[in-house]
Structure 1
Amino acid sequence: MKRSACAFVLILALLTVTGCRPRTILSVAGLQSLSELTLLDRTDQSVPVPDPAPFTEAFLRATLEPRGRDLNLAVGTADYQLVAGDNRFYYFLDRAAGVRGHLVYVDGRNRQHVYRAELDALILRVWRAARPPLPEVPGLQWRVGAPNQEVAAWALALAEVKYPVAYLLEHGAETVMVFAAGPKTGTTYTVRVQEMARVNEALVVTFRLEGPSPPISGAVSHPHTVLTFNGRVGAVVARTTDGHKVQEWPVIPMTADQNVVLLHPLAGSLLTGRVTLTGKARVAGGDLSVEIEDGHNVLAQASFRATRAAPVWGDFELQLRLRPHTNLSGAIIFFTGSAQLGNRQELLLVPIVFAGGK
C-alpha cells in the first residue's frame, strides 16, 4: 500500500516537473489557435469574427468540466456555435451570475468534451458590431430568438422541410414565428429579417437568405430563424427576397400542444382526384391515420407511420385517390385509434374544398 502511494506521488511529481497539463479544448480538436472563426446563434444566423485572437485566449483558459460526461448536453440547442474550418464548438450560456458557460467539442467518435469558458462578453461584442439594426414597426415589440430552449428545439425540428415555410405559434402572451428556408446542400446559410411592415392590416415580414458562410463540404443544413413578438400579431405574410425577386411562402398557424402539421395541401386548398399529403407528426409509435371527407362521406382513408416517433418529430408523405364527392367543402382529419374501439383521438382538422360540381 505504501509502495503504491509513493508511486502515485512520484507520477504527480514527474508531471509537475515536465510541465504536463490537462489538454485544452483546442488541442482536443487538433488545433493550436483559431485563425478563422464564424459565430452562429441558435437560429443559424452567422457573423464572421474579425479578430479571433481573444477567442483563442479564452479557449486556452477554458477548464475541463469534471461533470462533463453526466451533463449530456444537446448540442442542437446550444446558444451559439463557433466554427473554425471543419471544427465546430458549441457554447451554452450559464445564466447564473458569475458562472462560466459550457463549451463543448464533439470528436470523431461522437464523444463530448465539455469545458468551462468565459465567452459571453466576446460573443456579445462581435454580434453587436456585425448585425444590422432590426426593422422597427410602430406599436410592435419583437426580437430575434426563441423565448426558451424548448421552443428553440421545437423550431429546429420543424425547420427540416423540403420547401420554405413559416410557422406561427401562440406561446403564452407572446407569438413565435419560425421561418424555415428549406435544405441547402454543401454550405451553411443564414436567414435574417430584411423588412417588416404593416400592409393592409397584415404584418409582412421579408427574409433574406445569406451565404455561404462558412462552406462545410458535404453537409446539408436547414437554415431558419425564430422571431418572438410581444403579444398577438394578427395576420402574417412571410416572403423572401434575393434583392430582385420577391416570393411569398405559406404561413401555418400552430398551437403549443399540436402534434401533427400538414405542409401540403394547405388549409383552403382545392383538391382533385389524387392528393399527396406531406407533413410532420409527433405521436407515440409514429402511427396515425387520416381521412378525407366531404361532410357526408369519407372519400379516402389510410393508416401510416411517420419516420420517427414521439417525443421527436417525424416526417410523412402519402398519396390518396379520392372517391366522388357530394359536397364542395370538406376536411382532412388526422387521428389516432379508431371509432370502433372507442379510442379515436383527433389530432388535426384541415378544411379544404373540392374541384368540380357535386
Structure 2
Amino acid sequence: MKLTVLSLGFVLLSGWLTNPHIASSSIPVEPSPAQQSVLVDGLPVPIPEYSNELFQNVTVQKIGEDKYAVQGKARVFEGVIDYVVEDGHNELAKGTAKADKAAPGWGEFHFLLQVKKAEPNSTLILVLFEESGKDDGQRLAELPIALPER
C-alpha cells in the first residue's frame, strides 16, 4: 500500500488525489499489527495516525453522516486540547476537548465531532492545537488532519 504525503502535511490514500498542481511524494507504508483499519470496498485500509510534538497517535474515523470520532494522546497545559474545523475559507466548528492527564505527561483523549460541509466539493480540515497561555490566543503546535470522506 502507498500513502501520499502532501506538502501541506495531510496524508491521503494514493488514487484519491487527482489535482496535479499539489506537490506530493509517495512513500510505502506498512501498518503496524496494532494499527486500526477500516474496510473500504471490502479491503482493509489502515486508519492513518497523525503526530507532532504535542499530539501522538491521533486518529479520526467517520462514524456517521457529518460525525467523526477523534482520539489520541496529547501533552498540553491542563490537558486542554483546542480544535477548529476549516474548509479552506471558513471556520465551520471549534471547541475544546480534555485529555485525562496534563503536561508534562501524555494524556489520552477522545471526542465526537459533528460538522457539515458548507460547500459539497470542499475538504474539511480538523486542526488540533494548544492555545498560548498569553493573551494573544496564538495556536501552538497545530496538527492539521483532513477529515475522511467515508
Q: TM-score, normalising length from structure 1?
A: 0.27
Residue 24 of structure 1 is matched in structure 2 by: none
The residue type paired with residue 310 of structure 1 is A
Alpha-carbon spacing, 1:254–1:303, altered in 2? closer, same or farther (3 Å)? closer
Q: Is the 8 A contact 2:50 2:145 kept in 1?
A: no
Q: Which runs of 5+ in 2 are unaligned?
A: 1-26, 34-43
- Distance in 1 of aligned mates of 2:147 and 2:93: 14
Quote the sequence identity (%): 24
Which has the larger strand fraction? 2
**Does residue 1:259 correspond to 2:59, yes or no?**
no
Match of 1:309 among 70, 80, 102: 102
In the alignment, the residues of structure 2 paired with residue 320 and residue 251 of structure 1 have an alpha-carbon distance, to the nearest angstrom, of 18
Aligned pairs for 1:104-115 within 5 A: none
AA aligned opposite 1:323: K
SS at structure 1 position matched to 2:136: coil
Superposed counterparts of 1:226-237, under 5 Å: 234-237=27-30
In structure 2, what is the equivalent of residue 351 of structure 1? 146
CA distance in 2, matches of 1:270, 1:346: 28
Higher relative contact order (CA 8 A, sep 6+): 2
Aligned residues of 2:80 and 2:98 also touching (Cα < 8 A): yes
Q: Find the aligned partners of 2:50 and 2:139 in 1 and give their Cα distance.
A: 20
Which residue number in structure 1 is paired with residue 90 of structure 2? 297
How big is the shift at 1:249? 4.2
Read off the aligned partner of 1:350 and give its amino acid letter.
I
- What is the distance in 2 between the residues matched to 1:353 and 1:328? 12
Mapping 1:87-98, distance limit 5 Å: none
The 5 A counterparts of 1:1-358 are: 234-238=27-31, 240=33, 249-250=46-47, 252=49, 254-255=51-52, 258-261=53-56, 263-265=58-60, 272-326=65-119, 327-337=121-131, 341-347=135-141, 348-352=143-147, 354=149
C-alpha separation in 1, matches of 2:111 and 2:129: 15
Shift of 1:259: 1.0
Counterparts of 1:250 and 1:320 in 2: how far apart (Å)? 17
Give the greater-gyration-radius structure (CA). Answer: 1
**Partner letter of residue 331 of structure 1?**
I
8 Å Cα contact 1:262/1:277 also seen in 2: no
Q: TM-score by structure 2 length?
A: 0.58
Letter in 1 for 2:76: V
Aligned pair count? 110
Letter in 2 for 1:285: E
Greater fraction of residues in helix: 1
CA distance in 2, matches of 1:320, 1:253: 17
Structure 1 alignment gaps of length 5 or more: 1-233, 241-246
**Structure 2 residue matching 1:329: 3-state secondary structure:** coil
